[in-house]
Amino acid sequence: MTFNRYIFFAIMAAVLYAISTPVSKLLLNSLSPVYIAALLYLGAGFGMLMVWRIRKRTSFHEPMHFSKRELPAVFGMVILDIIAPILLMIGLMTSNPENVALLNNFEIVATSLFAFFIFKEAIPGRLRLAIVLVTIASIILSVEDAQAFKFSAGSLLVLLATVSWGLENNFTRKLSFNDPLVVVVIKGLFSGLGSLIIAFALGDVVWMPEMILITMLLGFVAYGLSIFFYVTAQRELGAAKKSTLYAFAPFVGAFLSLLIFRHIPEINFFIALIFMAVGSYFASTDRKNKEASKHYST
């Protein structure tokens, strides 16, 4: 069997992103949600800036410059990338990490619906079915009290984060003509700086060198480096095959969460897992679906 390094890159992208949820849950014991969000994005931004500079020395490729017409998309992307991770980290504080990992798949739904209602894009049949299945799974995971039909506040915040990223994905698409690494650097540095300003204002910034380094390293690996592998794989494998390989990232995250925290999930988790798995399969195997999967969503 011939080793295909691009399939390996796609798998690595999924695995590296999957570690972000359980490790972030551990970091919340020491740092605030807003501070963690800032450090994650700054880690991705600075890390990918170094990768970009190294690649620039060995390549003649020059990224295109953004025009005034793209500035609203850049601004929207940065603002949403400030909001989304903060919501995610706050939601993660009070939620089981395996649930949060699976709820990340709701980004598929959000991205597709924003593309349909705002940008008037068609939704293929298989993707429609995926939206229904993933939505059902998300509702099951979010219900805290089935008898009273009470939703978990933490899960709702996580869903709001995926909605923010879903809209952000559509803004990012408008910048896809540029070098993806440049887009990731802009996301990381400016969104991270925005979150850091909020953390300063809240008094959440603390000088803990080891924790700061670990969090920024997680951002570089789970967000920045994952995106690098993601984009590299997409260029060679195509969106459909890459999405199929990348779609198991939330399930890897859920497995790692169960392994690390040794938490025995309730029955609703396993029911939702089935719906989510089938929905992810239909979303990732729809050849017309090139944007509903995670697209530069650091």
Mean pLDDT in residue range 66-81? 85
The pLDDT value recorded for residue 247 is 66
Structure tokens of 139? 């509702």
Instruction: Give domain status of residue 184, yes or no.
Output: yes
pLDDT classification of 218: cutoffs 50, 70, 90: very high
Instruction: Give domain status of residue 187, yes or no.
Output: yes
Q: Region of 60 please: left (phi>0), alpha (psi -120 to 50) or beta.
A: alpha
Indicate the pTM of the whole model. 0.86
What residue numbers bound the domain in which 89 lies? 21-57+67-284
Q: Quick: pLDDT tens for 97-143.
A: 999 999 988 988 888 888 888 877 788 888 889 889 999 999 999 98
H or E segment and range at residue 191? none
H or E segment and range at residue 151? strand 150-151
Q: How far apart are CA 90 and CA 85, in angstroms?
A: 9
Residue with tokens 């949060």: 100
pLDDT averaged over the chain?
83
Instruction: Give domain status of residue 36, yes or no.
Output: yes
Instruction: Give domain status of residue 289, yes or no.
Output: no
Instruction: Give domain status of residue 8, yes or no.
Output: no
In contact, 225 and 20? CB cutoff 8 Å: no
Mean pLDDT in residue range 212-230? 89
Instruction: Give domain status of residue 230, yes or no.
Output: yes
Q: Quick: pLDDT tens for 271-280.
A: 999 999 898 8
Instruction: Give domain status of residue 72, yes or no.
Output: yes
Query: How many domains does the structure of the chain reveal?
Result: 1
Instruction: Give domain status of residue 212, yes or no.
Output: yes
Is the sign of the CA dihedral 275, 159, 269, 251 positive or negative? positive
